Amino acid sequence: MKRKLALFLLIAQWSMFNSQCSIASAQTPVYLDTTKDIEARVEDALARMTLAEKIDVIHAQSKFSSAGVKRLGMPDFWTDDGPHGVRPDVLWDEWEQAGQTNDSCVAFPALTCLAATWHPSLSILYGAALGEEALYRGKSMILGPGINIYRTPLGGRNFEYMGEDPYLTSRMVVPYVQGLQSVGVASCVKHYCLNNDEEYRHQVNVIVSDRALREIYLPGFEAAVKEGKAWGVMGAYNLYKDEHNCHNQYTLNKILKGEWGFDGVVVSDWGGAHDLDQAVKNGLDMEFGTWTNGLSEGASNAYDMYYLSKQYQKAIVEGKYTTKELDEKVRRVLRTFFRTTMNKQKPYGFLCSEEHYLTARLVAQQGIVLLQNEGNVLPIDPAGKKILVVGENAIKMMTVGGGSSSLKVQHEISPLQGLQERLKDSNCQIEFARGYVGDVSGSYNGVTTGQNLKDDRSSEALIAEAVEKAKTADYVIIFGGLNKSDYQDSEGHDRKTMDLPYGQDNLIKVLAAVNKNTIYVNISGNAVSMPWKKQLPAIVQGWFLGSEAGTALAAVLLGDVSPSGKLPFTWYESLEQCGAHSFGEAAFPGIWRNGEKKIIDEEYKEGIYVGYRWTDKQKLKPTFAFGHGLSYTTFKVSNLRCAFNETTDGNMTFKVDVTNTGNRTGCDVVQLYITDVKCSVDRPVKELKAFQKVTLKPGETQTVTLTTDKRALSFWDETADDWKAEPGEFIAQAGDASDRLTCKVKFTLK
């Protein structure tokens, strides 16, 4: 695998050197669990284990580890948080740092950025690089990737997920899982399922139609399991059908393990188990958490008091349960051991390598989205120019904080540092003005940024300084947006509004009024309202880009790399354009049941109409559409055709021509959407069903082949409890954004 990863990276280096976007299609990794005797080894080990040993392996013994079987030579099993890097080690039973000096890491871009690349081959690089860092740190399972659906822009944890569309999520999660597991580290795909809120996440009971569940919220998980062969799945904190999703009969036993044939291990989110009987019977295999119940009650022997610990063992001894359920849990745990800790074929890991930084930089560069570029103010021509950089987000480290994805990095290049380094040998002058003061804290669980961001000046003084400098600048680049503080992009709380914090709207308007070349770069994992959009020539979505943030942003802003990212979610003008916010409090954030603050019922009344499906249905024009993203060149997508205009099995092959009509090399994402013309149920106006990223030289035309199958034509039939494609006429449309579909073709399912 090392040689394979090196080959991919060499190809990527060549690609980046030529300012192109395509990477050779990644081959399916060779899995490390292909030995035919794994099941025999599992049964052999199971037969040798005592009851106490079986109980020990199915629950935590520390914050991030569970016991192995020492008598049989099986080491302890160590997990760690992801999904953007390997979390620094904490003390055995405290969240504070262990004080180690060898647990710094590479921070890869947040998964919203990875999804914005629309490039599955980058996803496999990402997973493999992350896996190598985990191996070096002695971790056998990374708690990621996160793939919950972007239902509302207020979701505090949206930055850890892959956007609003189930098909895009499916295509990006499979190679991530394959890359991670190809080096012998288990993925733990999370949070299964319907974990779309952070506020009251332990109490939210989601009410959703079977159609919406199957068509919107489950396809990513299904692909990760059935195609990616994920070795682990993490249950979610919330409830569905009045059962917590860490032990849910319907989602875990019926769907995950029954219908999908998942043979891996189901891990609870930390403190996500709530009931012994449900934990035993409803699909949970390993219980992790904190203290006694993971939330509030504590004891010196906390881990022995878990549901799947001593009380489970006692209940078996007393005859309340047989060992049937226990043995099935242990089989899954042992299977995971033999794939990871007991796998002699896994390679050695390494940390903070040049290849890992290159992977982080490539993902960042290809995920950055050029949202607006009136008058082609971008890319910046720095020769002899004066550039004013404004904003706290130009200097603030973004890898520390935000919850469990907080990291301790070897380095993080800020946007200001990236520009300074890129232009150090030029005759360009760079100035900085703070502009606004936001969150000046720089620590999380004992990791500190070392930055002193304190500034006691008034907002009026900060704006006045920025305005004065902007008057004489050739370009003004504002780095604003959100950060990883509570109620922004952070675990544990949802946002309260789409508005920018810290008075940034006023700052942007004032600077735009005094400098016509004002560029706004939004650093966030979520969409924000933009009341000043028409006043600015250029807007860039910069995400949370990790260790190589500044380098990647400088490369795009200065034109070393032509932007090629596409939005993985609809950028609403306001919350009123979002389906989840169109049905009152019952749909979001939910209503407390019986007036008691124990369970909050949240009904997904928009059903399948999430994101562009909703704006299409309501004929709304969002600020930026799903799949939108500009380039420094231009493209034409034309001549969509299919090999046969009718099919009986649903499998279709489409061809479409893409031409670079501009004057520089660049890459575009060809997107294929399908419409069911007439159906017995209400269906979206269109749905994404295929895409491909291509690189083209000026004037070059490439024919892209896109394939779909019967699932692409199907809806979930709630009566039959199965997928159904009705015969009749369909329309396929192709373009490079959901609102820029330039050609179409009709075909028939017979």
The domains of the chain, with CATH numbers, are 49-197+208-339 (3.20.20.300), 367-557 (3.40.50.1700), 635-749 (2.60.40.10)
Report which of 695, 427, 412, 383 is spatially closest to residue 553, judged by C-alpha positions. Answer: 412
Q: Is the pLDDT of residue 292 over 70?
A: no
Percentage helix, strand, coil for the chain under 3-state DSSP, each rounded to 5: 30, 20, 50
Tokens (6 digits) for 127: 């997973």
The C-alpha atoms of residue 435 and residue 502 are separated, in whole angstroms, by 10
For 420-430, what is the mean pLDDT? Answer: 95
Q: Which residues contact 420 (CB under 8 A, 6 or more apart)?
A: 430
Residue type for position 235: G
* Amino acid 678: pLDDT: 95
pLDDT at 38 over 80: yes
| pLDDT > 90: percent of the chain | 89
CA distance 691 to 674: 12
Buried/exposed code over 321-331 (b: 16+ C-beta within 10 A; e: otherwise): beeebbeebbb
Average pLDDT score over the chain: 93
> How confident is the model over 289-310, as a mean pLDDT?
71
Q: Is the pLDDT reported for residue 616 higher than 50?
A: yes
- Give the separation between CA 671 and CA 637, rounded to whole angstroms: 10
Contact 75, 68 (CB under 8 A): yes
Known catalytic residues are: 269
Backbone phi and psi for residue 538, each to the nearest 5 degrees, phi listed first: -135, 135
Looking at residue 14, its pLDDT comes to 40
- Helix locations, 49-87, DSSP H: 51-56
Q: Is 50 exceeded by the pLDDT of residue 13?
A: no
Confidence of residue 518 (pLDDT cuts 50, 70, 90): very high
pLDDT over threshold 50, residue 694: yes
pLDDT-based confidence at residue 27 (cuts at 50, 70, 90): very low
CA distance 619 to 684: 12
Most confident of 17-26, 477-486, 588-597: 477-486
> What value does the mean pLDDT take over residues 436-461?
94
Longest dimension (CA), the chain: 83
Percent with pLDDT over 70 in the chain: 94
Per-residue pLDDT at 31: 44
pLDDT at res. 222? 98
Q: Where are the alpha helices (DSSP H) in 521-561?
A: 549-557
Mean local confidence (pLDDT), 260-271: 97
pTM for the whole structure = 0.95
Q: Specify the 3-state DSSP secondary structure of 203.
A: coil
Distance between CA atoms of residues 406 and 409, nearest Å: 10
Q: Specify the pLDDT at position 22.
A: 44
Q: What is the DSSP letter of 74?
A: B
Other Cβ atoms closer than 10 A to 453: 16
Pairing of strands 538-541, 518-523: parallel
Is residue 398's pLDDT more than 80? yes
pLDDT at 1 over 70: no
Q: Tell me how far apart the alpha carbons of residues 62 and 255 are, in angstroms, rounded to a whole number.
A: 30
Closest CA to 541 of 628, 637, 636: 628
Whether the predicted pLDDT of 16 surpasses 80 = no
Question: Residue 382: what pLDDT?
Answer: 96
pLDDT at residue 305, rounded to an integer: 87
Model confidence pLDDT, tens digit, residues 355-391:
999 999 999 999 999 999 999 999 999 999 999 999 9
> How far apart, in whole angstroms, are the C-alpha atoms of residue 429 and residue 439?
28
Q: How far is CA 335 from CA 91, 265, 288, in A?
A: 28, 8, 18
Predicted confidence at residue 169, as pLDDT, reads: 98
- pLDDT tens profile 199-251: 999 999 999 999 999 999 999 999 999 999 999 999 999 999 999 999 999 99
Here the tokens at position 280 are 């035993």
Q: Is the pLDDT of residue 33 over 90?
A: no
| pLDDT grade for 299, boundaries at 50, 70 and 90 | low
CA–CA dist 634, 630 (Å, integer): 8
Q: Is the pLDDT of residue 3 over 80?
A: no
Q: Rounded to the nearest 5°, which phi and psi values hold at 595? A: 75, 5
pLDDT value at position 8?
A: 52
pLDDT of residue 94: 82
DSSP 8-state assignment for residue 347 = P
What confidence tier does 297 reach under pLDDT thresholds 50, 70, 90?
low
